[in-house]
Structure 1
Amino acid sequence: MTFRTDSAEPGRDDYDLARLLVWERSLAKYDADPEAELERRVHKLFTEDEHRRALDYLAASEQDTDRLAAIEAGLGGDTTSDAAWLVGQLRTAWARLDELRDRIDNSGTLIDLHYMAEGIDYVRGSRRRHELKDTVR
């Protein structure tokens, strides 16, 4: 199966493409064969470039904890340097961002989730990392 040759909606930014991909992924899971259904949906809606852009956008929002752990290991026992302080601040920021994203994902319909998620360029529902890696390429 091939991707579209021209865009269904030209001019969509990466955020919109990622939102559409996550939405299509959530709809495909109700099919008898979710992987085949997702592939059909993706190839029907996206050009190859749009699909790559959406996947790259979602992947960029993942925290690189392995790299941060390597930086910490390189610091050894030093807890007073600027680098150690920055690592601690980044860990705190990531924890708070995770909490915010969890609250967005678990919120009810009393708030405008799209507006709130857009404020931090977060694609609601994209925290399901195992699904991100299994998305059709």
Structure 2
Amino acid sequence: MTPKDLPMIDFDELDLEIELDSLLINKRISVRYRRNDIQAMLKTRSFLFPRLFRVALLDISSKGAAIISHKKLRSNSRVSFFLQFKDGRRFTISGKVANTQAAPRYGLKFDTYQTELAEHLLHTQTDLLFG
């Protein structure tokens, strides 16, 4: 068989440029941990009325967190996120509210990648929850 015997193909699927964002429905790439043993507090940043209140932690990663808050949060508002583990370890993380579309469920995006938090989440994980 020679190349002349093969049919001409105008469309080659293997020669396409693939954009990964279009293939990923869930764009959160880092490992998410579902934890119910971490206490979480959120402080909104405001000159006149800063508020500190408890939130429920749904899942967390080194880049952000999903929370439930009965206080209304605005998209792109700056927050401080406080975590306390059962072993007494505490983390204070600066970030912003990245997702408000499913309120009272909100998405937080951390300002920087939290390597120490990621290590501590991995080492203190006791229950494996998949979802």
- Please tell me the TM-score bracket, short chain as reference: under 0.3
- TM-score, normalized by length of structure 2? 0.20
Q: Compare the two structures and name the one with the higher strand fraction.
A: 2
User: Higher relative contact order at CA 8 Å, sep ≥6: structure 1 or structure 2?
Assistant: 1
TM-score by length of 1: 0.20
Higher helix share: 1
When Rg is computed on C-alpha atoms for both structures, the one with the higher figure is 2
